C-alpha cells in the first residue's frame, strides 16, 4: 500500500489523532502560559526569586521527557494525567524565562510615568508592563509549542493521546508492510501541525503586539 | 540568541551578544532563527556572572545527585522484585544500559561537533554568507520533525541498532551548535576583525586568533545544549533497538514493574543533570580569559 493509499483508508483515525495531538498541545500550552506568566509576575522584581524560577524551570527542561513521564506514571497512572503534567512542565521554561526578561526589560521611565499618572499596581502591570513584555513572551510560547509537539509524541508511550500512537503502532509492527506508512503519517502529521501552529503564532503576533512597539 | 540571553540583567559587560540581540529582536527572520538557537535548547544561556558564583552552587548539584542516587539504591534494595522485574535488572543489565547511554551520547555529540562547528564557520565566510538564511530555514524546518519519528524512520531505513539512533541524534542536535556558532561569529564587533586585517593578519589568522576565541562562549553554550539534548534523545534509542537507559524505562512501563521504571527514570534524570553540570563547568573553564576583562 502506498503512503497516500494508507492515508486515504485511515483518514478517520489519523484525523482523530491529529485533532487530539493539537488539542493536547494547545491546552497544555494555555495552561503553561498562564502559569508561566503568573510565576514571572510574582518573581521578576526580586533578583533571587527570578533567578530561582528560571533555574528550577531550566532544571525541569534538562530532564529527558521519557524519564519524567516514567517518574509520573507511578504517581498519577497512565494516560492523560502524565501527558498533561509533563507537557505543562516542559512548556513553562521558555515562557517563564522570556516573561521575566521581558518584564525586567521594560523601561523604568515608562513605569515611573504610569505611577505618575496614578495607575494602580494592577493597572500598571496589565496596561503598561505586560503589553511591553508581550513580544518576548510570545516568542517563548512559540518555542515551547514546537518542543511540546515532539514531547507529546513520546507521551503516547504512556498511553497518552495523539499522533504518537501512530508512530508507536508502526514500531510495534516494525518490518511489516504498513509500519513505514504508520510512522511516516505520524511524523509528518506532527511536523505539519508544528508548522501550522508556528504560522498561527506569527498571525497572533501581528494582531496582539501593541502598535506602539511594532517595528 | 533569544531574549533571555540578550538582556540577562547581571551581565552588563558582556557586550557582544546582547546589543546585537536587542536589535535583532524585532526582525522576524532573524528572530525565528535566533529563538531556535537558544529556545529549542534546554539550557542555552551561559550562566553569566558564573565565575563569581560561589562554591555552594558548584557543590549543590553533585551533592543532590549523590543523595538522590543513594536513596534510590537503598529503596531499590528493599523493593520486592518478582521474576519479571529481576529479568529486567539482573546480570549487570543496569550497568550495561548506563554504559550504552553514555556511549550513545558521547559518540553523537562528537559527530555533532565535527559537523556543526566547521559548517558554522563556512556559512559565515563571505563567500557562503548568502547561503546562511537558506541553511538556517532548512534546519529550522527540520526541527519541526519530532525526534521520535525521525529516529524510527531512520531505523526503518538503516536497520535496527545503535547506529540508526546515533544518526538521528546527530541530525537532531546539529542545529543548536550550528546556530550558536553562526550567532557567535556574527556577533563579533566588525571593528575587531577589521583591525586584525589591518595589522596584516591572513584570513586564517583572523579566524583562529580573533573570531573563534571571541565566539567561544556562544559555541560552548551550543555544545552544552547539544549534550543535554542528546542525553534525552538517547532514551528513545530503545524503540529502535539501540539500547541505553530507555530500555529500563520502557521495560518498566510495558511490564508494569514500577521499581524497574523508577530505577531507569532516576538514573536517566541523574545522568542528564550530571552531564549538564559537567558541561557548565567546562563552559566556565574553557572561556577565554580575555573576555572577562570588562566584567
> What confidence tens digit (pLDDT) does each residue in A108-157 have?
898 889 989 988 888 888 888 998 999 999 999 998 998 999 999 999 98
Q: Which of A52, A64, A83 to mutate to test the interface with B (most CBs of B within 10 A)?
A: A64
Could you tell me which chain B residue has the CA closest to the CA of A159?
B253
- Whose grid coordinates read 583562529? B208
What is the predicted pLDDT for the residue at A151?
Answer: 92
B212: domain CATH number? 1.10.3720.10
- How would residue B33 be classed by pLDDT, with cut points 50, 70 and 90? very low
- How would residue B39 be classed by pLDDT, with cut points 50, 70 and 90? very low
What is the predicted pLDDT for the residue at A179?
Answer: 86
Same-domain status, B23 and B165: no
Could you tell me which chain B residue has the CA closest to the CA of A189?
B145
Q: How far apart are CA A124 and CA B167, in angstroms?
A: 51
- Whose grid coordinates read 543523595? B67
Digit-coded pLDDT (tens) for A195-211 = 999 999 989 988 888 77
Among the partner-chain residues A61, A183, A194, the one whose CB lies closest to the CB of B156 is A183
A63 touches chain B (CB under 8 A): yes
Same-domain status, B125 and B20: no
Same-domain status, B154 and B9: no
Burial B227-263, CB ≥16 within 10 A → b, else e: bbbbbbbbbbbbbbebbbbbbbbbbbbeeebebbbbb
- How would residue B292 be classed by pLDDT, with cut points 50, 70 and 90? low
The share of chain A scoring above pLDDT 90, in percent, equals 47
CB contact under 8 A, A195 and B26: no
Could you tell me which chain B residue has the CA closest to the CA of A90?
B42
- Asked whether residue B248 is domain-assigned, the answer is yes
- Asked whether residue B95 is domain-assigned, the answer is no
Q: Is A185 helix (H, G, I), strand (E, B) or coil?
A: helix
pTM metric for this prediction: 0.80
- Asked whether residue B267 is domain-assigned, the answer is yes
- How would residue B54 be classed by pLDDT, with cut points 50, 70 and 90? low
- Asked whether residue B154 is domain-assigned, the answer is yes
What mean pLDDT comes out for the span A159-172? Answer: 89
Q: Which of A129, A145, A49, A170 is nearest to A92 (CA)?
A: A145
CB contact under 8 A, B156 and A190: no
Q: How many CB atoms lie within 10 A of CB B56?
A: 8
Q: Is B114 helix (H, G, I), strand (E, B) or coil?
A: helix
Q: Which of B269, B173, B57, B9 is nearest to A59 (CA)?
A: B269
Among the partner-chain residues B7, B28, B253, the one whose CB lies closest to the CB of A70 is B253
pLDDT of B123 strictly over 70: yes
End-to-end CA separation in angstroms for chain A: 51
Domain spanning A3-107+136-213 has what CATH number?
A: 1.10.3720.10
- How would residue B41 be classed by pLDDT, with cut points 50, 70 and 90? very low
pLDDT of B48 strictly over 70: no
Task: Find residues 122-161 of chain A whose CB sits inside 8 Å of chain B.
Answer: 135-136, 139-140, 142-144, 146-147, 149-150, 153-154, 157-158
CB contact under 8 A, B43 and A215: no
Among the partner-chain residues A70, A104, A143, the one whose CB lies closest to the CB of B265 is A70
Same-domain status, B10 and B154: no
- Asked whether residue B161 is domain-assigned, the answer is yes
pLDDT of A70 strictly over 50: yes
CB contact under 8 A, A64 and B231: yes
Q: Which of A144, A37, A194, A153 is nearest to B38 (CA)?
A: A144
Could you tell me which chain A residue has the CA closest to the CA of B273?
A62
Give B-chain residues touching A212 at CB under 8 angstroms: none
What is the predicted pLDDT for the residue at B36?
Answer: 40
The dihedral over CA atoms of A126, A131, A133, A134, expressed in degrees to the nearest 10, equals: 120
What is the predicted pLDDT for the residue at B110?
Answer: 94
- Asked whether residue B75 is domain-assigned, the answer is no
pLDDT of B83 strictly over 70: yes
Q: Which grid cell is B237?
A: 534509542
Same-domain status, B6 and B119: no
- How would residue A90 be classed by pLDDT, with cut points 50, 70 and 90? very high
A16 touches chain B (CB under 8 A): no
- How would residue B129 be classed by pLDDT, with cut points 50, 70 and 90? confident
What is the predicted pLDDT for the residue at B104?
Answer: 93
What is the predicted pLDDT for the residue at B27?
Answer: 33
- How would residue B13 be classed by pLDDT, with cut points 50, 70 and 90? very low
Higher pLDDT, B105 or A215: B105
- How would residue A215 be classed by pLDDT, with cut points 50, 70 and 90? low
pLDDT of B2 strictly over 60: no
What mean pLDDT comes out for the span A20-42? Answer: 94
What is the predicted pLDDT for the residue at B101?
Answer: 93
What mean pLDDT comes out for the span A150-173? Answer: 90
What is the predicted pLDDT for the residue at B294?
Answer: 47
What is the predicted pLDDT for the residue at A41?
Answer: 92
- Asked whether residue B73 is domain-assigned, the answer is no
What is the predicted pLDDT for the residue at B53?
Answer: 55
Give A-chain residues touching B26 at CB under 8 angstroms: 215
Question: What is the ipTM metric for this complex?
Answer: 0.85
Q: Find out whether B241 and B190 touch, Cβ atoms under 8 Å.
A: no
pLDDT of B20 strictly over 60: no
pLDDT of B29 strictly over 70: no
Give A-chain residues touching B64 at CB under 8 angstroms: none
pLDDT of B131 strictly over 70: yes
On average, the pLDDT of chain B sits at 77
Q: Which of A62, A137, A148, A178 to mutate to test the interface with B (most CBs of B within 10 A)?
A: A62
Among the partner-chain residues A66, A146, A184, the one whose CB lies closest to the CB of B153 is A184
Q: Which residues contact B26 (CB under 8 A, 6 or more apart)?
A: A215
Q: How far apart are CA B16 and CA B2, in angstroms?
A: 14
Give B-chain residues touching A180 at CB under 8 angstroms: 153, 156
Digit-coded pLDDT (tens) for B253-276 = 888 888 888 888 999 999 999 998
Q: Which of B245, B249, B256 is nearest to B96 (CA)?
A: B245
CB contact under 8 A, A187 and B147: no
Q: How many CB atoms lie within 10 A of CB B63?
A: 11
What is the predicted pLDDT for the residue at B18?
Answer: 33
- How would residue B26 be classed by pLDDT, with cut points 50, 70 and 90? very low
Give B-chain residues touching A194 at CB under 8 angstroms: 144
Give A-chain residues touching B232 at CB under 8 angstroms: 63-66
* Strand ranges inside chain B, DSSP E: none
What mean pLDDT comes out for the span B147-153? Answer: 90
Digit-coded pLDDT (tens) for B169-207 = 998 888 888 888 888 888 888 888 888 888 988 888 888
Among the partner-chain residues B26, B156, B234, the one whose CB lies closest to the CB of A215 is B26
The domain total for chain B is: 2
Q: How many CB atoms lie within 10 A of CB A76?
A: 14
- How would residue A37 be classed by pLDDT, with cut points 50, 70 and 90? very high
Domain containing B13 equals 1-32
CB contact under 8 A, B145 and A191: yes
Q: How far apart are CA B267 and CA B101, in angstroms?
A: 10
A94 touches chain B (CB under 8 A): yes
What mean pLDDT comes out for the span B281-287? Answer: 82
CB pairs A-B closer than 8 Å: 165
Amino acid at each position: 500500500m502506498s503512503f497516500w493509499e494508507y492515508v486515504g483508508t485511515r483518514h478517520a483515525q489519523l484525523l482523530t489523532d491529529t485533532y487530539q495531538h493539537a488539542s493536547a498541545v494547545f491546552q497544555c500550552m494555555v495552561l503553561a502560559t498562564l502559569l508561566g506568566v503568573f510565576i514571572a509576575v510574582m518573581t521578576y522584581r526580586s533578583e533571587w526569586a527570578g533567578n530561582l524560577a528560571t533555574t528550577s524551570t531550566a532544571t525541569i527542561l534538562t530532564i529527558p521527557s521519557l524519564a519524567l513521564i516514567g517518574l509520573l506514571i507511578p504517581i498519577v497512572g497512565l494516560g492523560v494525567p502524565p501527558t498533561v503534567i509533563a507537557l505543562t512542565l516542559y512548556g513553562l521554561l521558555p515562557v517563564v524565562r522570556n516573561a521575566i526578561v521581558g518584564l525586567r526589560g521594560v523601561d523604568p521611565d515608562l513605569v515611573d510615568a504610569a505611577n505618575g499618572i496614578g495607575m494602580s499596581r494592577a493597572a500598571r502591570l496589565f496596561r503598561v508592563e505586560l503589553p511591553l513584555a508581550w513580544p518576548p513572551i510570545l516568542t517563548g510560547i512559540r518555542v515551547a509549542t514546537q518542543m511540546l509537539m515532539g514531547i507529546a509524541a513520546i507521551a503516547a508511550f504512556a498511553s497518552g493521546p495523539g499522533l504518537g500512537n501512530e508512530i508507536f503502532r508502526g514500531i510495534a509492527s516494525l518490518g511489516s508492510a504498513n509500519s513505514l506508512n504508520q510512522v511516516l503519517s505520524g511524523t509528518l502529521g506532527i511536523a505539519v501541525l508544528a508548522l501550522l501552529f508556528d504560522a498561527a503564532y506569527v498571525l497572533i503576533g501581528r494582531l496582539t503586539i501593541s502598535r506602539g512597539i511594532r517595528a | 540568541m533569544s531574549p533571555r540571553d540578550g538582556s540577562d540583567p547581571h551581565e552588563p559587560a558582556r557586550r557582544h551578544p546582547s546589543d546585537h540581540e536587542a536589535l535583532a529582536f524585532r526582525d522576524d527572520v532573524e528572530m525565528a532563527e535566533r529563538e531556535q538557537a537558544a529556545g529549542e535548547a534546554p539550557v542555552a544561556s551561559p550562566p553569566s556572572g558564573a565565575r563569581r558564583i560561589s562554591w555552594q552552587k558548584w557543590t549543590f548539584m553533585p551533592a543532590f545527585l549523590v543523595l538522590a542516587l543513594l536513596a534510590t539504591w537503598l529503596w531499590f534494595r528493599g523493593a520486592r522484585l518478582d521474576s519479571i522485574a529481576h529479568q529486567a535488572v539482573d546480570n549487570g543489565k543496569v550497568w550495561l544500559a548506563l554504559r550504552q547511554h553514555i556511549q550513545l551520547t558521547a559518540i553523537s555529540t562528537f559527530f555533532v561537533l565535527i559537523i556543526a562547528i566547521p559548517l558554522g564557520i563556512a556559512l559565515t565566510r563571505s563567500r557562503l554568507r548568502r547561503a546562511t538564511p537558506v541553511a538556517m530555514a532548512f534546519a529550522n524546518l527540520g526541527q519541526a520533525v519530532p525526534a521520535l519519528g525521525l529516529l524510527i524512520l531512520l531505523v526503518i531505513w538503516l536497520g535496527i541498532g545503535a547506529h540508526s539512533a546515533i544518526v538521528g541524534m546527530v541530525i537532531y542536535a546539529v542545529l543548536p551548535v550550528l546556530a550558536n556558532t553562526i550567532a557567535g561569529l556574527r556577533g563579533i564587533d566588525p571593528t575587531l576583525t577589521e583591525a586584525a586585517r589591518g595589522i596584516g593578519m591572513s584570513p586564517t589568522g583572523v579566524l583562529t586568533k580573533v573570531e573563534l576565541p571571541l565566539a567561544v562562549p556562544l559555541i560552548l553554550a551550543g555544545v552544552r545544549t547539544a549534550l543535554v539534548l542528546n542525553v534525552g534523545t538517547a532514551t528513545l534509542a530503545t524503540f529502535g533497538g539501540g539500547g541505553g537507559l530507555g530500555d529500563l524505562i520502557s521495560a518498566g512501563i510495558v511490564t508494569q514493574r514500577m521499581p524497574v521504571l523508577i530505577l531507569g527514570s532516576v538514573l536517566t534524570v541523574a545522568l542528564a543533570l550530571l552531564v549538564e553540570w559537567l558541561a557548565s563547568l567546562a563552559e566556565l573553564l574553557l572561556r577565554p580569559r580575555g573576555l572577562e576583562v570588562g566584567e
